[in-house]
């Protein structure tokens, strides 16, 4: 391996934490999907750990770190939905916080975009709140009844239905444990 | 340093290859056949036979001849697959420590990695005899849908066999590599891999020297063995109808049924009809009774129709995950002995609307690909680059038994994901985390990989300690867990307890036991018994 490549790896391993996925793959933000794949192949040819199998372990560790990040970048940018969310997130004021795609962080972001439907009718809202209290107190039986009542009030509410499915599973598990 | 080889360690057969002048070649066994049975037979005089030679003993030594043990490797004793194997196997499967599976031969117990190690040692020996040189490094293949435990167990088997396992790679990926190596292709290929015990489908994109797996899916419980089982059931039921005796309860009769089912299946590749004749298969009312019947190809096709259809459901899933349709697939590669069956071949052809690539031997291609990868690893200037994915999602158990997915399936490997854990009680000094693999919402429906404990946490009010845990899937598809204190950056100890696996000490003990036996497996005598 030439000294130039070695120096590049050492530098990249240090700076990669501050780079976004576009910088890591060396593609423009408006790149086509096919360009992203080509970039991924090119970066893989350069930084895949297999190319450094018998090198100094410290260098291999750096290459590992770089390549894992290359894969991560590709995984997100090659998925249309993830790419759109990611691009929006890193373009914001606190963009630096989002330069690594983290399912939990992004789930929160998605939730903020689309709030839970806590009920459109006064009775639906009330039953849902009572169900929430039931879930918090681990009283799943009463939670289930309240959710069923809430759904009766608002048959098309998705949040209610999802919650009911979760409660049903929890009840099933509980009965198995006994 | 010794030579490097690629080994296809299959459920029914194994094969070893090496690269010479940039071209991969298979190596013939002592009987001139490169395809060796994955069978180990323990003879009365203490001799242990491996390969095609061992298979000859399957009928008169059924209790001490181990076959299809790959179905058990890396599995827990209480899993449904082990129960199923116990019902039909002629050798004795018992429970070992840590919920592991052991195979009992006389008064000795063998772990599955140990049985696999014997097969690997035989392949190593075959290669050494051909090359006239030591072989100490290998790439070993596994089904794409093998989980962490099964990969780890296979790697352990290599270590026990005295091999430095350069890499564990997926069988369909290896096949694609053998197909596209050095051809400068720009293609999307589908690898339909129906082995003895497992089915895999992988969709790859080849860009010159880069082989990218786009998606992979599989059925762990579907293989050529199941086709044999259908024939066995058919024969046994016919016999039961005539004589009111169930041959499946008689170990030696069952072994003969198994053997003739396999022969009949192979016979039906060339012929439209086959006759099964088993004179004196059992005693009925004190007198020896024969089993004789004819099966034609069409009827056999009906018997296994649903098995073939099951593979297409898996293909649908893989294509969907790759966001592709069959029209996008440029080339179709068939892998595994069972794809030689005309009924399978025809069905796959009509599913993909295309002819499979010819000139590819479905039983050798995986081992050839493994050899290419092995030589690419030792000489990084040459060869191809594999970009593989993890076949299953990796997650941890959270409140209510829900699975919190950290790494989704079909994520390119190596990969890692970190998560911060904290204490939930004042003064808590340890945190226990359970890791799972699978796609189900609840952990109980997924495969438990193991459990690890973060220990030596300084006693503090709850929520004070912040421990960052990193889950890594390496290029072998094997999971590693590391932890560090978020504040100080200091590494934290992680105790990982892989269920069903061997400990480091056990592996080393077994390795030492096997080393220094240059004369090979045939004279190998066990001295130490595992607890």
**Digit-coded pLDDT (tens) for B298-308:** 999 999 999 99
C-alpha span between B103 and B367 (Å, rounded): 27
Tell whether the model's pLDDT for residue B518 goes beyond 80.
Answer: no
Query: Which tens digits make up the pLDDT trace of B316-361?
Result: 999 999 999 999 999 999 999 999 999 999 999 999 999 999 999 9
Which ranges in A28-157 belong to alpha helices (H)? 33-47, 57-77, 80-91, 103-113, 122-136, 140-153
Largest Cα–Cα separation, chain B: 80
List residues of B whose CB lies inside 8 A of any A CB.
Answer: 166, 205, 207, 209-210, 212, 376-378, 380, 385-387, 400-401, 405-406, 411-417, 419, 441-442, 444, 472, 475
Tell whether the model's pLDDT for residue B1 goes beyond 80.
Answer: no
Residue of A nearest to B206 (CA): A41
- pLDDT tier, B489 (very low <50, low <70, confident <90, very high otherwise): confident
Chain A residues in contact with B442 (beta carbon < 8 A): 169, 173
Question: Looking at residues B154-180, what average pLDDT do you find?
Answer: 96
Residue B421 is predicted with a pLDDT of 83
- Known catalytic residue at B44: no
Q: Counting every residue, how long is chain A?
A: 178
A67 inside 8 A of chain B by CB: yes
Q: What is the DSSP letter of B329?
A: -
Beta bridge partners of B496: B452
Residue B467 is predicted with a pLDDT of 84
Question: Looking at residues A17-38, what average pLDDT do you find?
Answer: 94
- Could you tell me if B454 and B421 are in contact, meaning their C-beta atoms sit under 8 angstroms apart? yes
Residue B495 is predicted with a pLDDT of 62
Residue B228 is predicted with a pLDDT of 93
Nearest partner of B137 among B102, B111, B162, B157, judged by Cα: B162
Q: Which helix (H) or strand (E) segment is B242 a member of?
A: helix B224-243
Q: Cβ of B441 and A103 within 8 Å?
A: no
Residue B447 is predicted with a pLDDT of 87
Residue of B nearest to A38 (CA): B207
Tell whether the model's pLDDT for residue B525 goes beyond 80.
Answer: no
Q: Which of A68, A75, A104 sits opposite B414 (nearest CB)?
A: A68
β pairing state of B415-421 and B467-473 = antiparallel
Q: Name the residue with higher pLDDT: B420 or A35.
A: A35
Which ranges in B13-111 belong to alpha helices (H)? 52-55, 80-88
Tell whether the model's pLDDT for residue A109 goes beyond 80.
Answer: no
Q: Which helix (H) or strand (E) segment is B38 a member of?
A: none
- Could you tell me if A29 and A39 are in contact, meaning their C-beta atoms sit under 8 angstroms apart? no
SS3 B451: strand
Tell whether the model's pLDDT for residue B203 goes beyond 90.
Answer: yes
Provide Rg for chain A, Cα atoms: 24
SS3 A13: helix
- Known catalytic residue at B171: yes
Tell whether the model's pLDDT for residue B84 goes beyond 90.
Answer: no
Residue of B nearest to A167 (CA): B400
- pLDDT tier, B273 (very low <50, low <70, confident <90, very high otherwise): very high
Determine which one of B70, B155, B265, B345 is catalytic: B70
Question: Looking at residues A109-138, what average pLDDT do you find?
Answer: 82
C-alpha span between B93 and B81 (Å, rounded): 12
Tell whether the model's pLDDT for residue A145 goes beyond 70.
Answer: yes
- pLDDT tier, A113 (very low <50, low <70, confident <90, very high otherwise): low
Q: Which of A40, A64, A170 sits opposite B414 (nearest CB)?
A: A64
- Could you tell me if A82 and A90 are in contact, meaning their C-beta atoms sit under 8 angstroms apart? no
Tell whether the model's pLDDT for residue B526 goes beyond 50.
Answer: no
- Could you tell me if B113 and B75 are in contact, meaning their C-beta atoms sit under 8 angstroms apart? no
C-alpha span between B18 and B13 (Å, rounded): 17
- Known catalytic residue at B426: no
* Least confidently predicted of A83-87, A156-160, B20-24, B243-247: A156-160
Tell whether the model's pLDDT for residue B530 goes beyond 50.
Answer: no
Half-sphere exposure for B241 (CA within 13 Å, toward CB): 7
- Known catalytic residue at B70: yes
- pLDDT tier, B531 (very low <50, low <70, confident <90, very high otherwise): very low
Determine which one of B114, B156, B171, B212 is catalytic: B171
- pLDDT tier, B488 (very low <50, low <70, confident <90, very high otherwise): confident
Take residue B84 and report the two structure tokens written for it.
Answer: 């199923």
Tell whether the model's pLDDT for residue B514 goes beyond 50.
Answer: yes
Take residue B56 and report the two structure tokens written for it.
Answer: 């000859």
Residue carrying the six token digits 């390549």: A67
Tell whether the model's pLDDT for residue B507 goes beyond 80.
Answer: yes
Q: Cβ of A45 and B385 within 8 Å?
A: yes
Q: Cβ of A41 and B376 within 8 Å?
A: no
Tell whether the model's pLDDT for residue B43 goes beyond 80.
Answer: yes
Tell whether the model's pLDDT for residue A155 goes beyond 90.
Answer: no
Question: Looking at residues A114-140, what average pLDDT do you find?
Answer: 85
- Could you tell me if B18 and B6 are in contact, meaning their C-beta atoms sit under 8 angstroms apart? yes
Beta bridge partners of B481: B471
- Residue of A17, A34, A50 to mutate, testing the B interface (most B Cβ within 10 Å of its Cβ): A50
B414 prior amide bond cis, ω within 30: yes
Beta bridge partners of B48: B42
Take residue B78 and report the two structure tokens written for it.
Answer: 């209480």
Residue B497 is predicted with a pLDDT of 64
Backbone angles phi, psi at A48, to 5 degrees: -70, 135
How many H-runs (helices) and E-runs (strands) does chain B carry?
11, 28
Q: How far is A51 from chain B (nearest CA, A)?
A: 5
* Least confidently predicted of B129-138, B196-205, B341-350, B397-406: B397-406
- Could you tell me if B258 and B232 are in contact, meaning their C-beta atoms sit under 8 angstroms apart? yes
Residue of A nearest to B407 (CA): A103
Question: Looking at residues B51-77, what average pLDDT do you find?
Answer: 91
Secondary structure (DSSP) of B379-445: -TTSS-EEE-B-SS-EEEE-GGGBEEEEE-TT-BSSEEEEEEE--SSTT---EEEEEEESS-SBGGG
Beta-sheet strand order (sheet of B467-473):
B415-421, B467-473, B479-485, B491-492
- Which residues, other chains included, contact B377 with Cβ-Cβ below 8 Å and sequence gap of 6+? A50, A53, B4, B139, B166, B167
Take residue A67 and report the two structure tokens written for it.
Answer: 């390549």
Residue of A nearest to B166 (CA): A53
Task: Give pTM, 2 decimals.
Answer: 0.85
Residue B346 is predicted with a pLDDT of 95
**Degrees, nearest 5: CA angle B295-B297-B302:** 90
Question: Looking at residues B279-283, what average pLDDT do you find?
Answer: 89
**Highest mean pLDDT (candidates A154-168, B49-63, B377-391):** B49-63
Tell whether the model's pLDDT for residue B107 goes beyond 60.
Answer: yes
Tell whether the model's pLDDT for residue B91 goes beyond 90.
Answer: yes
Instruction: Tell me the pLDDT of chain B averaged across its residues.
Output: 89
- Residue of A40, A52, A71 to mutate, testing the B interface (most B Cβ within 10 Å of its Cβ): A71
Q: Cβ of B412 and A169 within 8 Å?
A: no
Question: Looking at residues B433-443, what average pLDDT do you find?
Answer: 90
Tell whether the model's pLDDT for residue A60 goes beyond 60.
Answer: yes
C-alpha span between B12 and B39 (Å, rounded): 8
Backbone angles phi, psi at A151, to 5 degrees: -65, -35
Tell whether the model's pLDDT for residue A111 goes beyond 70.
Answer: no
Residue carrying the six token digits 């919190």: B404
Take residue A161 and report the two structure tokens written for it.
Answer: 């239905």
Backbone angles phi, psi at B58, to 5 degrees: -60, -35
Q: How far is A87 from chain B (nearest CA, A)?
A: 20
- pLDDT tier, B521 (very low <50, low <70, confident <90, very high otherwise): very low
Q: Cβ of A52 and B380 within 8 Å?
A: yes
Backbone angles phi, psi at B356, to 5 degrees: -70, 155
Residue B519 is predicted with a pLDDT of 41
Q: Cβ of A67 and B414 within 8 Å?
A: yes
């Amino acid at each position: 391996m030439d000294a130039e490549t070695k120096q590049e790896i050492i530098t990249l391993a240090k700076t990669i934490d501050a780079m976004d996925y576009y910088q890591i793959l060396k593609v423009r933000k408006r790149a086509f999907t096919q360009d992203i794949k080509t970039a991924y192949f090119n970066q893989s040819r350069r930084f895949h750990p297999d190319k450094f199998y018998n090198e100094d372990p410290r260098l291999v560790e750096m290459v590992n770190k770089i390549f894992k990040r290359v894969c991560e970048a590709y995984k997100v940018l090659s998925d249309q939905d993830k790419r759109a969310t990611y691009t929006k997130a890193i373009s914001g004021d606190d963009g630096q916080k989002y330069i690594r795609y983290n399912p939990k962080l992004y789930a929160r972001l998605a939730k903020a975009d689309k709030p839970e439907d806590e009920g459109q009718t006064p009775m639906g809202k009330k039953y849902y709140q009572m169900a929430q209290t039931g879930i918090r107190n681990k009283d799943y039986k009463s939670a289930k009844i309240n959710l069923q009542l809430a759904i009766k009030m608002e048959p098309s509410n998705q949040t209610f239905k999802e919650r009911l499915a979760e409660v049903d599973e929890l009840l099933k598990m509980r009965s198995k444990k006994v | 340093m010794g030579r490097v080889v690629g080994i296809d360690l299959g459920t029914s057969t194994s094969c070893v290859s090496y690269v010479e002048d940039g071209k991969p070649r298979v190596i013939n066994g002592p009987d001139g056949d490169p395809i060796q049975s994955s069978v180990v037979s323990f003879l009365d005089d203490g001799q242990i036979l491996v390969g095609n030679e061992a298979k000859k003993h399957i009928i008169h030594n059924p209790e001490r001849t181990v076959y299809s043990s790959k179905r058990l490797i890396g599995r827990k004793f209480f899993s449904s697959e082990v129960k199923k194997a116990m019902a039909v196997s002629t050798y004795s499967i018992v429970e070992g420590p840590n919920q592991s599976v052991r195979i009992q031969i006389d008064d000795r117990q063998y772990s599955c990695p140990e049985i696999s190690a014997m097969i690997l040692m035989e392949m190593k020996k075959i290669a050494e005899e051909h090359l006239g040189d030591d072989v100490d490094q290998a790439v070993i293949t596994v089904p794409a849908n093998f989980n962490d435990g099964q990969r780890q167990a296979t790697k352990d088997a290599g270590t026990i066999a005295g091999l430095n396992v350069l890499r564990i790679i997926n069988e369909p990926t290896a096949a694609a590599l053998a197909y596209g190596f050095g051809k400068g292709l720009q293609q999307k290929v589908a690898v339909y891999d129906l082995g003895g015990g497992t089915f895999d489908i992988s969709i790859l994109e080849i860009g010159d020297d880069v082989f990218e797996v786009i998606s992979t899916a599989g059925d762990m419980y579907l293989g050529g063995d199941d086709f044999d089982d259908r024939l066995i059931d058919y024969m046994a039921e016919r016999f039961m109808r005539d004589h009111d005796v169930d041959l499946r309860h008689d170990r030696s009769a069952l072994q003969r049924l198994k053997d003739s089912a396999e022969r009949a299946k192979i016979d039906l590749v060339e012929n439209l009809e086959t006759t099964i004749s088993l004179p004196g298969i059992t005693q009925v009312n004190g007198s020896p009774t024969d089993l004789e019947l004819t099966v034609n190809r069409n009827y056999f096709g009906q018997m296994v129709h649903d098995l073939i259809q099951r593979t297409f459901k898996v293909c649908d899933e893989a294509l969907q995950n790759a966001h592709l349709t069959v029209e996008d697939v440029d080339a179709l590669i068939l892998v595994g002995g069972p794809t030689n069956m005309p009924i399978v071949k025809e069905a796959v052809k009509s599913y993909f609307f295309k002819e499979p690539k010819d000139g590819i031997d479905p039983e050798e291609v995986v081992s050839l690909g493994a050899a290419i990868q092995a030589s690419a690893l030792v000489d990084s200037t040459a060869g191809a680059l594999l970009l593989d994915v993890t076949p299953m999602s990796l997650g941890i158990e959270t409140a209510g038994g829900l699975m919190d997915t950290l790494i989704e399936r079909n994520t390119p490997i190596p990969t890692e994901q970190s998560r911060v854990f904290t204490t939930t009680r004042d003064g808590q000094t340890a945190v226990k985390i359970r890791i799972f693999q699978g796609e189900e919402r609840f952990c109980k429906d997924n495969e438990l990989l193991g459990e690890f404990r973060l220990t030596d946490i300084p006693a503090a009010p709850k929520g004070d300690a912040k421990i960052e845990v990193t889950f890594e899937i390496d290029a072998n598809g094997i999971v590693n867990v590391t932890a560090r204190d978020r504040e100080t950056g200091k590494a934290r100890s992680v105790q990982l307890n892989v269920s069903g696996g061997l400990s480091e000490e056990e592996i080393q003990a077994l390795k030492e036991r096997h080393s220094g036996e240059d004369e090979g497996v045939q004279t190998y005598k066990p001295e130490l018994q595992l607890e």
